[in-house]
A and B are shown apart, each in its own frame.
Chain A
């Protein structure tokens, strides 16, 4: 096996070759992460909107 100058094997030799199934799984994992991320953003927006509605208008003029 060809070794790099710092005596470590090249990256390609360590990483398993990705087949079509792995690519498909990676795509599905990415999509799942995107949906999870969007859900978290939606959660933040939801709490923000509910807070605004519950506080009502003219909130800045309320006495402390």
Chain B
């Protein structure tokens, strides 16, 4: 069996770039914006805003906006550091070879500088504007994503996105801390939802892009353990995710709208996860099978369905929480005794 879990060295990878980088190109400002992964940033902003609103404290609207801005810039800085370090991997994959650094539009040193400067700026401003607990959590999130996930886990273990998912799950806790200066159970519940959501979300994606990861030597779960094992683990994580998503109802964080969205959405999520488990998605792309790399399109339909729905599911749950707390909808009184655990 090919040992795909062994990371490729930078020299091995850079020796075989897919396309010649044109180093004389001038970087546009849009390239620097692209380094900050704006689409990821938008999800981070949304979840952080939800945490901030759910905290329910008394915060100046300008300070609240600055806190969300800092979290967005911190997420962007993480993205820039990730693109700087992973340029060798990104150049190997179809999905990422057009990114500014591997395409040669931005010099690696410029990406590193942007990431470091933005990290310092976001953490310092967060500390000055809100409190140092929120700033510390933001600094931890950036360092965790840039060092623990990008430098260490991504190239060394199939559990990379499980553990690394913590970085993506922390923004609501940072938002909560920015308002209240504390991180109660409900804040960590929001974190737990995103943390448990990440593996089925990313593994569904990697089931139909595993050939890219295999080529780049990234030991994503389908590459390292095969598609069948990945589909089983997606199902297990989905079974764990749905109860976690329902827990905010018990603690009083979520109301009727949240219960409806998380319950019905959870049922659909489980249905799609079961269908994916019973399918052959990813089999054709399994590097341990004698099949073509790109003939997975029809079979990958179930994986694509779960991937697409997972985004909608997370968005709807956080939107429901946001709406309930913005419009002051009360949680279920019958379950309010559980709120005592949240002090």
Contacts and interface: CB of A to CB of B under 8 A. Distances in A.
Interface residues of A, number: 14
A53 B63 CA distance: 8
Nearest to B25: A25
A32 B27 contact: yes
Interface in A1-54: 25, 28-29, 31-32, 35-36, 43, 46-47, 49-50, 53-54
B41 to A, nearest CB: 16
B293 interface: no
Nearest to B28: A28
B15 interface: no
B26 A50 contact: no
Contact of A50 (B25, B27, B63): B63
B125 interface: yes
Nearest to B63: A53
B308 to A, nearest CB: 34
A31 B27 CA distance: 10
Given A49-B62, A53-B60, A32 B28 contact: yes
B26 A25 contact: yes
B28 A53 contact: no
Instruction: Say what secondary structure dominates the interface of chain B.
Output: helix
Contacts of A29: 26
B28 A31 contact: yes
A49 B129 CA distance: 10
A28 B26 contact: yes
A12 to B, nearest CB: 23
Interface string B57-75: 0001011001001000000
Contacts of A35: 29
B26 A46 contact: no
A55 B26 CA distance: 43
Contacts of B125: 46-47, 50
Which of B28, B29, B60 has the most A CB atoms < 10 Å from its CB?
B29
A50 B28 contact: no
A50 B125 CA distance: 9
A32 B29 CA distance: 5
B128 interface: yes
Nearest to B121: A43
Given A31-B29, A46-B66, 7 more contacts: A25-B26, A32-B26, A32-B29, A35-B29, A46-B125, A50-B125, A53-B60
Interface of B: 25-29, 32, 60, 62-63, 66, 69, 121, 125, 128-129
Interface of A: 25, 28-29, 31-32, 35-36, 43, 46-47, 49-50, 53-54
Closest 4 CB pairs of A and B: A35-B29, A25-B26, A32-B29, A28-B26
20 contacts: A25-B26, A28-B26, A29-B26, A31-B28, A31-B29, A32-B26, A32-B27, A32-B28, A32-B29, A32-B32, A35-B29, A36-B29, A43-B121, A46-B66, A50-B62, A50-B63, A50-B128, A53-B60, A53-B62, A54-B129
